[in-house]
Structures are given as C-alpha cells and as structure tokens.
Amino acid sequence: MFLAKVEGSVVSTKKDPSMHGHRLLLLRPQLVDEKDPSRFRPGQNTVVAVDIIGAGVDEMVLFSQGSSARLANDLKNCPVDAVIIGIVDTVDVFGKKVFSASDSK
C-alpha cells in the first residue's frame, strides 16, 4: 500500500468493457521527506487509479498497485494496476502527526 494525494480525475469514454462504471482518479504519491520526517514530499510520478470508495480531489488516500489491486471488490476481471482502497484520516511518523484530514480542509 502507498499514500497519495488525489490531484484530479481521468475521463476515458472508450475503454475496455470491464472498466465501464469505474471512476478513474489521478494520484501523486506522497513520500516521507528523508531530511524532515515530519513532512511529506510529493513523488515525481503520477498514477491513474480506480476509485472504489468515493475519494475526492485534494484528499490523501491509500492505494494498492499490481496484482493485489485486482483483489478489490468487482475488479477481479478488470485490467487494473492501481486502486484506491482508503481515505486517510491521520498519519503519524515517529510519534508525530504529519497529516490530519481535518487540518487540510
């Protein structure tokens, strides 16, 4: 599992039939900053993930990649590599809160 910030959505009207009805979101992975573990730094890549839980832009989410992504509900026969599996409430690193959803609203 990985942490990411939802940066936007992806719309694809022509896609594999098994993907119809699945919402796609654009994610920016978040990494704990090595120089200052009390903060995150954004990763350099972006990931398109299937949203099965109703996440929104600017939310911090948990996502899974690879073959484990297809273990999520209704995705067993879909060609997916990433799926959002949770919306993050808080993140603590070394006993210090580095993210709180209530603070980011």
Asked whether the beta carbons of 29 and 45 are under 8 A apart, the reply is yes
Q: What is the mean pLDDT of residues 75-85?
A: 87
Q: CA angle, corner 4, sides to 88 and 35, nearest 5?
A: 100
Give 16-44 pLDDT, tens digit per residue: 888 888 899 999 999 999 899 889 999 99
pLDDT at 77 over 90: no
pLDDT at 100: 93
Total length of the chain: 105
HSE toward the beta carbon, residue 83, CA cutoff 13 A: 19
- Cβ-in-10-Å burial (0-12, 13-18, 19+) of 10 comes to exposed
pLDDT at residue 87, as a whole number: 97
State residue 90's pLDDT score: 96
What kind of architecture, by CATH, is found in domain 2-100?
Answer: Beta Barrel (2.40)
Task: State the average pLDDT for the chain.
Answer: 91
pTM: 0.89
